[in-house]
Amino acid sequence: MQVNESSLKRSRLMYIFEATLEYLISILVGGSFLATLTKQLGLSDSLTGILSSIISLGCLFQLMSVTVNPKRMKPFVLILSILNQMLFLLLYVIPLIEVSPTVKAVLFVILIVSAYVLYNVAHPKKISWLMSLVDDHHRGDFTANKEIVSLISGMAFSFGMGALIDHYKAQGNLKLALILSAAVIFVLMVLHSLTLLFTVEKPSVTCAAKQPLVQRVKKVLGQKDILRVSLVFVLYQIAHSASTPFYGVYEIQELGFSLTLVSALSIASSIARILFSKAWGRYADRRSFAAMIEKGFFVWGISFACMAFCVPSNGRVMFLLYCLLNGIAMGAINSALINLVFGYAREDQRADCLAVSQAFSGVIGFLTTLCVSPLVTHIQKNANQFLGHTVYAQQVVSAISLIVTVLVMIYTRTVLIKRNPKGAKEHE
C-alpha cells in the first residue's frame, strides 16, 4: 500500500477506529464484566483480583516482542490480534460447557493468560507502527482525539451490554447473555482486523537487525532517561494494582450495584475524561507530558481518597466521585505514560523502550496484587475487621494506592520536571 499524505491521513483515522474497537473488547473482559464471569464460575474475590491484574503480568511478555523482528509490522500485529481476541471470545464460552467447575476455572485462567500474552507480544510493535503515523508535535492532541472517540463509543457500549446482561440475568437466562456477548466480540474482532488492513506501514518502522534479548534490554536500561521514565511506570502500576483489581467485585457484592448501574458509573467517568482530554492534550503539547502526568497523579490521588471512605451506606456517592476523578486523571496519565517514552527514545528504539518499561512495571504490578490479595482475604474472613476497626478490604487497599500515588507525584516533580522542565525535546 503506497504511503503518501492521503494514505497517512486515512491511516490515522483507521488508528482511531482500531483503538476504539480494541477498547470495546477490553470492556467485556475486564472490570465488572470479568467479575460477572468469575462469579458464574465460582471464583473467589482474591482470585478475581489476581485475574484482573493479569493484564499487568502480561506486560512481561512484551520482552518477547523485543526479540521478534518481523520484516513487516502489519501482518505480525494483525495475526496476533486476531488470535488474542478469539481467546477473549472463548472466555464467554467456558461457563456454557458441560465440565466440572474445577476444569472450567483452569480453562478460564489458561485462556485469559494466553490472550494477554499474545496481546502484549504484539502491543509494542503495534504502538510503534501506528504512532509513527502521527506528527511528534501533535501527539498530545491526536491522543486526546483518539481517546475521546473510544470513550464516547465505550459509554454507549458499556451501558448497552450491561443492560443486556442484567435483562437476561433477571429472566434467569444468563446463558443467552453469554452467547450474545461472545457474538459481539466476534463482530468487533472482524471490524478491528479491517482497520489494521487499511492502515499503511512506513518503511522506517521496520525493526533493526536481530540482537539477543539480554543485549537489547541492556541497551534500553543503559539509557538513564528511559530508566527515570520506567520508574514512573513502576510506581503507577503499584498504585493501580494494589486496589483497582478488587473494585469490580466490590461494586457487585458489598456495594450491591447492578451491571446497569456499574455501566452508568463508567459512563460518568468517561464523560469526565472526555471533557478534560483535549485540555490535557493541549497542555502537554504546550508544556510537557511530565507536567501533565504530575497533575493527573494529583487528581488520581484524590480519587483513591474517596474510595478509602467508600462503604455501602455512601457507596453510590463516593464511587461516583471516584469514577469522575479517575476519569479526569486517566485522561492525563494514560496518554502521558506512552508519550513520555516516545519523547525520550529514538524512533528505532521506541518499541523496545516501551516493551521494557511496561514489562518490568507489569511484573511489579502483578506481584503487588499477589501481595495485597492475602490482606483482602484476611479482612473479609475476619468480618471486615482490620487493626481493631470495622472497614472493608477495598478501603484499606485504596489507602495504600493513595500513599503510592503521592510518592509518584513527588518523584515526577523532583526527577522529571525539575531536571527537564520543558520536556524531552532532543529527538524532535
Dihedral sign for Cα atoms in the order 354, 32, 181, 325 = negative
Which pLDDT score is estimated for 428?
Answer: 38
The residue type found at 426 is: E
Residue 53 DSSP code = T
Residue type (1 letter), 296: G
* Cα dihedral 293, 296, 298, 300 in deg (nearest 10): -130
From 340, 337, 332, select the one nearest 273 (Cα to Cα).
332
pLDDT at 54: 66
pLDDT value at residue 281: 84
Q: What is the pLDDT of residue 205?
A: 46
d(CA 140, CA 284): 6
d(CA 195, CA 197): 5
The Cβ-side half-sphere exposure at 323, using a 13 Å CA radius, reads: 22
Beta bridge partners of 324: none
From the CB of residue 218, how many other CB atoms can be counted at a distance below 10 Å? 12
**pLDDT for the residue numbered 63:** 75
Please give the chain's pLDDT, 428 residues, in tens.
567 788 888 999 999 999 999 999 999 998 778 888 888 888 876 677 677 666 656 667 777 777 777 778 899 999 999 999 999 999 999 999 988 888 998 999 899 989 988 998 888 889 888 988 887 777 778 888 898 899 889 888 988 998 898 899 889 898 999 999 999 999 999 999 999 999 998 875 444 555 666 777 777 777 787 888 889 999 999 999 999 988 888 888 889 888 788 878 988 998 999 899 888 888 888 888 899 999 999 999 999 999 999 999 999 999 999 999 999 999 899 888 888 887 777 766 777 787 788 888 888 888 898 899 899 888 888 877 777 677 899 999 999 999 999 999 999 999 888 766 445 443 43
Q: Cell for 204?
A: 522506517
**What is the rounded distance in angstroms from the CA atom of residue 232 to the CA atom of residue 343?**
14
What's the confidence (pLDDT) of residue 56?
A: 59
Alpha-carbon dihedral sign for residues 30, 35, 36, 39:
positive
State how far the alpha carbon of 292 is from the alpha carbons of 70, 146, 335, 405, in Å.
Answer: 34, 17, 9, 15
Per the CB < 8 A criterion, the answer to whether 36 and 259 are in contact is yes
Residues in CB range of 71: below 8 A, 6 or more apart: 206
- The helix-helix angle for 224-241 and 393-411 (nearest 10°) equals 160
User: H or E stretch including 131?
Assistant: helix 101-131
